[in-house]
């Protein structure tokens, strides 16, 4: 069973993104970033209403910029995927989920304490340097499936 339809190319995209965004946070941190990617593909609400595939999620543009900074600025994102991160990516699409990323649609590294909300969305928790945010209650039921 998988949470989202995917191809081998999608696994490579997730693998490259989790390495670029969270390699310094270890396997668990990379899994959490991957969880947010899959959550966005599954959610049918808010900023993600027309985002249905892993590729759509990774290359989504909001406000004139890519949603993930690594796509725009990250040298690591453009390096080939490694098998270690591919394994993590496969775990995430199969159904791996853990708090605080379990239902989160956003994360960021504020280089300061995590704010209680992020663009009006409640703080779900922190893992190492990343703050995770879930959608407000009753605004995105599909994120909680």
For residue 76, give the CATH number of its domain.
Answer: 1.10.10.2520
Q: Determine, yes or no, domain membership for 143.
A: no
Residue 127, domain member (yes or no): no
pLDDT in tens, the chain (145 residues): 799 999 999 999 999 999 999 999 999 999 999 999 999 999 999 999 999 999 999 999 998 999 999 999 878 999 999 999 999 999 999 999 999 999 999 999 998 999 999 999 999 999 999 999 999 988 999 998 8
- Report the helix count and the strand count for the chain, using DSSP H and E: 5, 6
Domain containing residue 76: 8-103
Is 77 contained in some domain?
A: yes
Q: Is the dihedral of CA 135, 140, 143, 145 positive or negative?
A: positive
How far apart are the C-alpha atoms of 26 and 105, rounded to whole Å?
A: 20
Q: 83 lies in a domain? A: yes
What's the predicted TM-score (pTM) here?
A: 0.96
Q: Is the dihedral of CA 7, 2, 128, 111 positive or negative?
A: positive
- Domain count within the chain: 1
110 in a domain, yes or no? Answer: no
């Amino acid at each position: 069973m998988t949470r989202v339809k995917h191809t081998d190319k999608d696994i490579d995209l997730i693998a490259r993104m989790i390495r670029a965004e969270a390699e310094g946070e270890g396997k668990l941190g990379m899994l959490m970033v991957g969880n947010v990617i899959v959550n966005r593909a599954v959610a049918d609400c808010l900023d993600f209403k027309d985002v249905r595939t892993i590729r759509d999620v990774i290359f989504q543009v909001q406000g004139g910029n890519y949603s993930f900074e690594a796509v725009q600025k990250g040298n690591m994102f453009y390096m080939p995927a490694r098998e270690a991160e591919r394994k993590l990516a496969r775990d995430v699409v199969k159904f791996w989920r853990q708090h605080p990323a379990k239902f989160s649609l956003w994360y960021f590294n504020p280089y300061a304490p995590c704010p209680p909300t992020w663009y009006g969305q409640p703080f779900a928790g922190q893992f190492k340097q990343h703050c995770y945010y879930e959608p407000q209650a009753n605004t995105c039921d599909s994120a909680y499936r």
